Amino acid sequence: MPELPEVQTLVDDLKALGTIGQRIEAVKVLWPSLLAGTGPDEFCRHLRGQVIKGIRRRGKYIVWTMGKNCYLVVHLRMSGHFFFAGTGKPRARHVHILFQLADGRWLAYQDTRKFGRFYLVSDPGIVVGKLGPEPLDKRLTASRLGRMLAKRHRRIKPLLLDQTFIAGLGNIYTDEALWEASIHPLTLACNLAADDVPRLLRAIRKVLRQGIRNRGTSLGKGLNNFSNLERRAGGNAGGLKVYRRSGRPCPRCGTLIERMVVAQRSTHVCPACQQEPDPLSKC
Ligand SMILES: [Zn+2]
């Protein structure tokens, strides 16, 4: 599933490849159930002729600013991504929504699982208003994160995956950040020590920045996996320390990485670096 670095890579590409300022000449919806709350005719009629004024990321969402009171908010869910299909009639499998820009290029939305969602709204807050803070935002200080964690009686991994607590983390970068910070995923948030919190925040930022620098994580070559606007895989898989590395040595201490299941999610830990909490611990 695309997480913050993968969505950021797409947003950076959309900007770098000259999408902003382009008028949308045509819209084709081949799979209407990707649209949330709008029928395909209304969706196409509203977007045709709009100029793309801005594109930004919020959590794992892409927010497109169009005309006045018109925003397109997209969540890629399991396997969604955009790519430029050139100026010819696009022919590619699993392409479900197409936008033709004023310069003739077709921007294609491809999604093998078809779980992605397109929201056409008058205010992006309708979709992204309940998200927690951005982990790379300087306003999220260690003391603010510490106050947020102290109130929560949940295990740290599912809490970090909760988009209303902090926005943008998914399974890969959560496992990587917890390993980086030497915190076990089952630790109760309210039991984290004072010095755990700044270390955790630094670790989250380190793994996200590495993911952005490497232009996302692609775990394989199939269409289910992340690829950027030019249909190239991200380069971050080789930089992962624990995710999907069970049975291989921890890069820090050499102990073999183990896989466990936390809140129904596959989870990867170093049993030496990340000490399991006492199962009876409370706070
Ligand atoms: Zn280790």
Residue 160: which CATH number?
A: 1.10.8.50
Give the global pTM: 0.96
Structure confidence at residue 34 (pLDDT): 97
Q: Which secondary structure element, helix H or strand E, spans residue 29, and what is its range? A: strand 24-29
The answer to whether 170 and 153 have CB atoms below 8 angstroms apart is no
Return the exposure string of 223-259: e unless at least 16 CB atoms fall within 10 Å of the residue's CB, then b.
bebbbbbeeebbebbeebbbbebeeeebeeeeeebbe
Who has greater pLDDT, 92 or 57? 57
Q: Is residue 122 domain-shared with residue 149, that is, in the same domain? A: no
The residue among 128, 157, 188 that closes a domain is: 128
Are the CB atoms for 134 and 3 separated by under 8 Å? no
Q: Identify whether residues 80 and 183 lie together within a single domain.
A: no
Catalytic one among 58, 60, 241, 245? 60
Please give the structure tokens belonging to residue 171.
């399974």
Q: Which two tokens stand for residue 151?
A: 């109130």
Is residue 3 annotated as part of the catalytic site, yes or no? Answer: yes
Does the structure show a pLDDT above 90 at 101?
Answer: yes
Residue carrying the six token digits 């969540």: 75
Catalytic site includes residue 282: no
Tell me, yes or no, whether 164 and 260 share the same domain. Answer: yes
Residues 191, 106: one domain? no
CA of 10 to the centre of ligand 1 (A): 33
Listed residues 74, 94, 128: the one ending a domain = 128
Report how far ligand 1's centroid is from the alpha carbon of 257 (Å). Answer: 8
Q: What is the CA(21)–ligand 1 centre distance, in A?
A: 49
**Percent of the chain surpassing pLDDT 70:** 100
Instruction: Give the pLDDT band (50/70/90) at residue 250.
Output: very high
Residue 133 lies in a domain: no
Q: What was the pLDDT predicted at 279?
A: 82
Pair (110, 222) in one structural domain: no
Answer whether 190's CB lies under 8 Å from 153's CB. Answer: yes
101, 158: one domain: no
Strand 95-101 to 80-84 pairing: unpaired
Indicate if 28 and 82 belong to the same structural domain.
yes
Q: Is 5 a catalytic residue?
A: no
Residue 27 lies in a domain: yes
Q: Is 42 a catalytic residue?
A: no
If one counts the domains in the chain, the total is 2
The domain of 247 spans 142-269
- From 48, 199, 232, 265, the catalytic residue: 265
